[in-house]
Structure 1
């Protein structure tokens, strides 16, 4: 029997595997090879790996994990999980069944692209969600923000550490008068109308086309489309979740344990606050250490 099966082999899953492997625990990592940030050309703010392509960082991490004989990396997905603490079973898409004492869920989320021409093609380059990941490279330039609801005002406040030139696109949302007054006081322009197309011009630059006939050129566009878990294993297990402005996240305690004893979660799947490589690595390490310590005699 494996000590731990980790479902999802991106930053959180590999960070968990590293801690478990160094504790000489038998761990299997199942990975589909489709990390959420695979569309980004570079990953920023990761200590020791700043400005490296995310796929390169993951490739280097896998090479480092291969020096630990108790870690097994498998390119496959999990189709079902069952059992309870100390007696879990994971069935893979290859038809293989794996037994494990603990499970770590780190299969992340999928961003749901809106039906706007050019949006999906610009995602990760001209359209990004995180200023900590991409803001420095375009600091002081003209930023755009697609309004996504009341939480968007917090993004406006945050972005002022990077730029004083910001345009908000309401994209059909009804922005209340008091919020518009707040935006005006911050020298933030509001452009009404629905976005019909995004035209990318190389690098981060893009033109936002609206159904009003207006075209607005920005140096980078920030957007926060809704997302969903990339797999449904947590639903089948009956794990507790929480609603967020952009989707759902798994409920975990301070040790990253879910509502079912013996199952831990890390990364974007269980991070409703802010998604980043750094936080995913931190949460993955915590999940791995917590799972290891829970098996101590």
Structure 2
């Protein structure tokens, strides 16, 4: 049976209860607005035990940071939290209607989407099993802990050279091209200047901590591996609403302006869903901006992001 709720019950619905969503919801709760947080419990960094680079929280368990944020948020009396998935959102005039997987329907004046992204990894045996433990995407989040050891970069496209050029600041780098692309002469010179070893033999599998087995039988032991994943949105909501998207080197994401407003008035997008760089610190900052903007729009009116 479909459960209906009045439009006036919530002023803002935040879809996604990870770092960006928690941050947005906190700003709104402190403004004493009636808000609903809908969370499917699928943090993008759930595979990583620890989080790094977030001021005051460096080295803490990633799950603990999120749990503390939720506990602090729920002390505010105007907040309701639902564990579930939002499957659909439509706009009717100035009101948004959000449908959950269980059939419940909620209406709101504003939406904050903090739905995150899903990582698609190359189909290399053993790679996905080590995602977040010894296979990473962000040097700033995980590079320091590799203690300047041997670091492998597995190419997925020409954009992977960005990783290969950066990572010598964290260790001795081997760049596994894996048939993804061939650097030109200028790129090879720059890699050599950075001390990067280029390996053209295809990767067969990954085992142990981060041992790369090559097709010719060699096995190169690494302290950790970095790979640029292909990204896609963890939720269809933004596209359902007609939010304009941007295509980045790793996939498409929602286009927003400086206050995290999307092209649809009243819809704000924060965190990985609206940027290519993923980290807890950036997600929290985006969420705070989106929450503040959503609150002020209730007073001064909603605007849409202007085309660049």
Aligned equivalent of 1:109, options 117, 123, 129: 117
- Which residue of 1 is the match for residue 219 of structure 2? 215
**Where does 1:108-147 land on structure 2 (aligned, <5 Å)?**
108-147=116-155
The 3-state SS of whatever aligns with 2:174 is strand
Q: Given that residues 255 and 286 in structure 1 are in contact (C-alpha distance below 8 angstroms), is that contact kept between their aligned partners in structure 2?
A: yes
Cα deviation, residue 224, structure 1: 1.0
- Which residue of 1 is the match for residue 86 of structure 2? 78
Q: Given that residues 82 and 237 in structure 1 are in contact (C-alpha distance below 8 angstroms), is that contact kept between their aligned partners in structure 2?
A: yes
- Which residue of 2 is the match for residue 281 of structure 1? 284
Mean Cα displacement is larger for which, 65-74 or 148-157? 148-157
Mean Cα displacement is larger for which, 44-53 or 34-43? 44-53
The 3-state SS of whatever aligns with 1:81 is strand
- Which residue of 1 is the match for residue 27 of structure 2? 19
Change (3 A) 1:23 1:84: same
Change (3 A) 1:155 1:84: farther
Cα deviation code 1:75-113 (max 9, x no counterpart): 011011011563111011121111100001111011113
The 3-state SS of whatever aligns with 2:50 is coil
- Which residue of 1 is the match for residue 250 of structure 2? 246
Cα deviation code 1:120-142 (max 9, x no counterpart): 11000110111111111113211
**Where does 1:1-297 land on structure 2 (aligned, <5 Å)?**
1=8, 2-84=10-92, 86-163=94-171, 165-178=172-185, 179-201=187-209, 206-272=210-276, 274-296=277-299
The 3-state SS of whatever aligns with 2:158 is coil
Instruction: Give me the TM-score of the superposition, normalised by structure 2.
Output: 0.91
- Which residue of 1 is the match for residue 306 of structure 2? none
Q: Given that residues 84 and 262 in structure 1 are in contact (C-alpha distance below 8 angstroms), is that contact kept between their aligned partners in structure 2?
A: no
Cα distance between partner residues in 2 of 1:292 and 1:177: 50
Change (3 A) 1:85 1:16: farther
Q: Given that residues 91 and 97 in structure 1 are in contact (C-alpha distance below 8 angstroms), is that contact kept between their aligned partners in structure 2?
A: yes
Q: Which runs of 5+ in 1 are unaligned?
A: none
Cα deviation, residue 153, structure 1: 2.5
**Cα RMSD (Å):** 1.3
The 3-state SS of whatever aligns with 2:163 is helix
- Which residue of 1 is the match for residue 5 of structure 2? none
Cα deviation code 1:172-205 (max 9, x no counterpart): 123233122321232210111322211033xxxx
Q: Given that residues 179 and 200 in structure 2 are in contact (C-alpha distance below 8 angstroms), is that contact kept between their aligned partners in structure 1?
A: yes
The 3-state SS of whatever aligns with 1:110 is strand
Cα deviation, residue 48, structure 1: 1.9
The 3-state SS of whatever aligns with 2:229 is coil
Cα distance between partner residues in 2 of 1:282 and 1:115: 33
The runs of 4+ residues in structure 1 deviating greater than 3 Å are none
